[in-house]
């Protein structure tokens, strides 16, 4: 992964918003918000990936492990995992392949539906998800500069946006 560039002496997103307004272009505040979210996403992923790298995990694989860890029986059909993680079935298959190679997950046949494959978390997977969660907690999941109250406000605003977009 590429190392981050040295910090700029000014905020390029604020500068873009000023130019947007000066030119009379539409929705400058929305443009700045979306650009800020995109940049924050890049920053968060860089920090989260760095914390998860020692465990051989990406955030997508970590999310799959957490989902299995929290499931009642430690196993779920791959299709249900895709729906809950809101990702394409191919992405779930890829994540489970990698987790299986690492020994964190195993595939099992569904007991009553021969067409369905289950992903089942292994004891090693349970242990690594606890360790990885601890590592992410130490860096507050990369949410640098956000205390709990600020994180809750961000979550509330983004939840409203997701709801309006029909995400759930």
Mention every residue, 6+ apart, whose C-beta is less than 8 A from residue 12. Answer: none
Buried b (16+ CB within 10 A) or exposed e, 69-92: eebeebbbbbeebbeebebeeeeb
pTM: 0.86
The domains of the chain are located at 10-55, 59-138
* CATH code given to domain 59-138: 1.10.10.10
pLDDT in tens, 25-69: 999 999 999 999 999 999 999 999 999 999 999 999 999 999 999
Cα distance from N-terminal residue to C-terminal residue, the chain:
33
Given a cut of 70, whether residue 122 has pLDDT beyond it is: yes
Report the alpha-carbon distance of residue 85 to residue 63 in Å, rounded: 8
Residue 147, pLDDT score: 95
More confident residue, 57 or 114: 57
The whole-number pLDDT of residue 73 equals 93
**Encoded tokens for 120:** 């089942």
Q: What percent of the chain has pLDDT over 70?
A: 98
- Report the alpha-carbon distance of residue 133 to residue 140 in Å, rounded: 10
pLDDT of residue 101: 97
């Amino acid at each position: 992964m590429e190392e981050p560039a040295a910090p700029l002496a000014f905020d390029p997103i604020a500068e873009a918003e000023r130019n947007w307004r000066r030119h009379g272009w539409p929705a400058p505040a929305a443009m700045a918000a979306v650009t800020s979210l995109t940049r924050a996403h890049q920053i968060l992923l860089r920090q989260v990936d760095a914390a998860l790298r020692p465990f051989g995990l990406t955030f997508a694989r970590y999310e799959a492990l957490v989902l299995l860890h929290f499931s009642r029986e430690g196993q779920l059909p791959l299709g249900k995992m895709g729906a809950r993680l809101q990702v394409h079935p191919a992405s779930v298959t890829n994540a489970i392949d990698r987790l299986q190679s690492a020994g964190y997950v195993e595939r099992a046949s569904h007991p009553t539906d021969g067409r369905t494959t289950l992903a089942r978390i292994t004891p090693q997977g349970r242990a690594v998800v606890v360790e990885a969660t601890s590592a992410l907690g130490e860096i507050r999941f990369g949410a640098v500069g956000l205390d709990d109250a600020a994180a809750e406000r961000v979550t509330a605003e983004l939840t409203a946006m997701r709801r309006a977009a029909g995400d759930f």
